[in-house]
Amino acid sequence: MGAHPMYEQMAQTVGQWIGEHHGQLLYGGGQNGLMGVVADATAKAGGRVVGIIPIALQEREWARKTCDELHVVDTMHERKRMMAEKADVFLALPGGIGTFEEFFEVWAWRQLGYHDKPIGLLNTQGYYDGLLAFAKHAHQQQFMVDWQMELIIANDNPIELLKELVQAAGFNPTSQLSAL
């Protein structure tokens, strides 16, 4: 859940907002950690929860069995491909290596033109300040250009960020949101 109770509260807020807006969460299908909190809060508030989990993680009993839909796939690559195809918006919460990898992949895919979906970075408690500073440094060193930096929508307020993502996508909140 992270070192600060605010992370769990933020995950609860994200899920509740998705559910209250009759949205659909598309995520990695797990029952643990912050994403488990988001899934539970989404379902409790009336939203749909769709999980996509590799068989290896399901075999470890990490799958949330109460998803409205649970897709079991062979590999992480298949999971990420399916999530990228089905999602309308991407949202990265504070997380670890898997979150970083998925965030950078959807950002890279967007700048390559593989998709045109908004990407949000929820910067709770300044969690992503270092990452954003590094990206700014890469930009200043001319390894990235303005439009690549503008592909990320960062905010520390989950409600404001969700509204920004929905607006950027040009749809109502009932669309699928993929949380990383």
Structure-block tokens of residue 39: 């899934």
The CATH number for 5-179, chosen from 3.40.50.1370, 3.20.20.150, 3.40.50.620, 3.40.50.450, is 3.40.50.450
Is pLDDT larger for residue 171 or for residue 6? 6
Other beta carbons less than 10 A from residue 170's beta carbon = 9
Nearest to 114 by CA among 122, 124, 106: 106
**Residue 62 confidence class, pLDDT cut points 50, 70, 90:** confident
CA 144 to CA 125: how far, in whole Å?
Answer: 26
Percent of the chain past pLDDT 70, that is, above it, reads 95
Quick: pLDDT tens for 110-139.
999 999 999 999 999 999 999 999 999 999
Query: What residue spans define the domains of the chain?
Result: 5-179
* Predicted pLDDT at 133: 98
What pLDDT sits at residue 60?
80
The alpha helices in the chain, defined as continuous H runs, are 5-20, 33-44, 55-59, 76-86, 97-111, 129-140, 146-149, 158-169
Compare 67 and 175 and report the one with higher pLDDT.
67
Residue 169 pLDDT greater than 80, yes or no = yes
| Predicted local confidence at residue 175, as pLDDT | 53
> Which range among 70-74, 164-168, 174-178 shows the weakest confidence by mean pLDDT?
174-178
* pLDDT tens, residue by residue, 140-151: 999 999 999 999
